Amino acid sequence: MTEETRIEPKLPLEIFSMEVWCHIFSFLPAKDVVTCTHTTQAWSNFYMDERTVLLMQLAFPHISKYLNKAEIAKCRQVCRSWRRGVDDLLQNHPLHYDIQLKSNEVRVAPPTPGKTFTPSKVEELERFIGSWEYGRSNPLSVTRTLSYEEDARDSPNFNARVTYRQRVAVKGLLTVFGSEVWHCRLVFTEGDGPSDLYKRVRSYLILMPNLKTLSIFYAGGHLPPNYVMAPSLQQLVEDEPLPHLNNLVKLCIGVGGPLEFSSLLTFTTLQKLYCANSFNFLPLPVQKQSLNELEQLHAFIINPGDWYKLLNVRSPLKVLKLSIVASARLETVFRCVDNFGETLKHFSLHINIERDVERRISKLLELPELETLKISAGRNKFCNIDFLLPCTSLKNLEMELNVSVVSKRIREKMRRDTTSLDAIVKFLWYEDAMYESNIWELFPHLQNLELNTALPKRKFETRTWGPYPITIGTRYKYNREEYLAHVQRRSRLPIN
């Protein structure tokens, strides 16, 4: 760089006055402004004066946990910066996007203020659309969340006329504000055939082109059998495809038939998918046009055909949650999961069926990147967990399983005597003495180990077994720190 072109560094106030900088800062996210203000004295002074404005945007996610929704809404009225902080939290709340590994249910709506349009509120909606506020006040601007329930049953409360009025009202609302909806939850009650439902949902989705998350569910839970994909429905999907929602990252779908079929074909940008449907999990065409960006999948395995479909998924999954209702051996599960060996970090396996004791599982779980594993085996038992050996990155292991009800003394005796089981990982009979096991050495990254032996119908009851009280359901929690302390204590003991 020549002498002429070198630009001498200047102090912020030599470039612009503080008013101009304030104006520039007003366009930046609070996080970036705070970073800037750490650099020079002039900006630092600005930071000290404006802390309660700037930091509220960053601190609000923590503070909001202590506020009810009226108070949260009130914070929007304080100043623009606070409003931005509240809106950012509500519109981008992680609960909109995450598929939780811990709980057995996926939360489809965040615990945030929002409006649910249900059949009983149709008059309210009509009143709004007919009022002077329509167009001036946007009911979706705060949360960008539309939760809409539609009941097409012909009953005294919900008749066809009400349903028709409701559909007209919602269409009217979406025509004006649909492009501002980011998160949509649609709940239907049976009453329509699959093609009618498909067409109606399609007409709603066309009006919401900027959706980021979408949930479509049935209120009743049971799907009518005609929701299985049929050739005529396939033709419908081809003739009237769903709109391309280019921002859609998460889809929760509990409605089978053409809606699910077409969704999985059309929404190729999906990163998170929850398939609650029992019939059509992953239609075969998905294999041709795979979900290349899919990172999280929660699926139910109900039919043997579902395994075949899962085997053909080639997405770079990081989180996988499988709820298995079909009869299957763990070997089959592990073989399917091998597909994701390069990427999978968190795996939750929920087995609902009751089956024989798994004496020996010959197939290893080849997931070297796996950090979290949760197995809910219900009433199943594991005599041997050597199948975990390739999971060398494992940090958290949680198992819910059946444990033989025996006294502590018998358990100790069995630990001494059962080397014949030739298991590498010492697991069986160690449930209440896991610090004695070699599991901590075999899995050097293992931090937490939780064993929950509470059986569904017999939670934490204590019975007597001969002279000894035995707790049938017990939650054992172990961690590496206590293990290290245990090792240290043991090394201090005098050798006999």
Residues that bind other proteins (CB under 8 A): 38, 48, 51-53, 55-56, 58-59, 62-63, 65-67, 69-83, 93-95, 98, 100, 102-103, 107, 113-116, 133, 136-143
Question: Looking at beta carbons only, is 37 or 195 nearer to other proteins?
Answer: 37
Report the nearest approach of other proteins to the CB of residue 70 (Å): 5
Distance, in Å, from the CA atom of 421 to the CA atom of 203, rounded to the nearest integer, reads 61
DSSP per-residue string spanning 288-338: TT--TT--EEEEEE-SHHHHHHHHT-----SEEEEEE-S---HHHHHHHHG
**Tokens coding 29:** 């996210």
Distance, in Å, from the CA atom of 433 to the CA atom of 412, rounded to the nearest integer, reads 9
Question: Looking at beta carbons only, is 94 or 316 nearer to other proteins?
Answer: 94
**Tokens coding 241:** 């495809």
Report the nearest approach of other proteins to the CB of residue 111 (Å): 8
Cβ-Cβ contacts under 8 Å for 152 (sequence gap 6 or more): 158, 160, 163, 188, 189, 190, 191, 192
Distance, in Å, from the CA atom of 375 to the CA atom of 393, rounded to the nearest integer, reads 17
Report the nearest approach of other proteins to the CB of residue 84 (Å): 11
- The answer to whether the CB of 183 falls within 8 A of the CB of 212 is yes
Q: Compute the chain's Rg from CA coordinates.
A: 28
Question: Looking at beta carbons only, is 124 or 196 nearer to other proteins?
Answer: 124
**Tokens coding 6:** 């070198």
**Tokens coding 200:** 């109606």
Distance, in Å, from the CA atom of 344 to the CA atom of 297, rounded to the nearest integer, reads 11
Report the nearest approach of other proteins to the CB of residue 124 (Å): 9
Question: Looking at beta carbons only, is 51 or 458 nearer to other proteins?
Answer: 51
Question: Looking at beta carbons only, is 55 or 325 nearer to other proteins?
Answer: 55
> What angle (nearest 5°) sits at the alpha carbon of residue 23, between those of residues 17 and 26?
140
CA 314 to chain centre: 20
Question: Looking at beta carbons only, is 179 or 287 nearer to other proteins?
Answer: 179
Report the nearest approach of other proteins to the CB of residue 237 (Å): 35
Q: Which of the 8 DSSP states describes residue 116?
A: E
Question: Looking at beta carbons only, is 208 or 242 nearer to other proteins?
Answer: 208
Cβ-Cβ contacts under 8 Å for 446 (sequence gap 6 or more): 394, 395, 396, 397, 439, 440, 480
Question: Looking at beta carbons only, is 88 or 98 nearer to other proteins?
Answer: 98
135 CB neighbour count, 10 Å cutoff? 10
Question: Looking at beta carbons only, is 103 or 157 nearer to other proteins?
Answer: 103
Report the nearest approach of other proteins to the CB of residue 114 (Å): 7
Question: Looking at beta carbons only, is 92 or 407 nearer to other proteins?
Answer: 92
Report the nearest approach of other proteins to the CB of residue 149 (Å): 13
- On the CB side of 425, CA atoms within 13 Å amount to 22
Question: Looking at beta carbons only, is 37 or 339 nearer to other proteins?
Answer: 37
Report the nearest approach of other proteins to the CB of residue 13 (Å): 20
3-state secondary structure of 198: helix
Report the nearest approach of other proteins to the CB of residue 162 (Å): 20
Report the nearest approach of other proteins to the CB of residue 128 (Å): 9
Burial 300-321 (b: 16+ CB within 10 A, else e): bbbeeebbebbeebebebbbbb
Provide the pairing of β-strand 468-471 with 462-465: antiparallel
Q: Please choose, from the candidates 388, 384, 339, the residue with its C-alpha nearest in 3D space to the C-alpha of residue 360.
A: 384
Report the nearest approach of other proteins to the CB of residue 156 (Å): 25
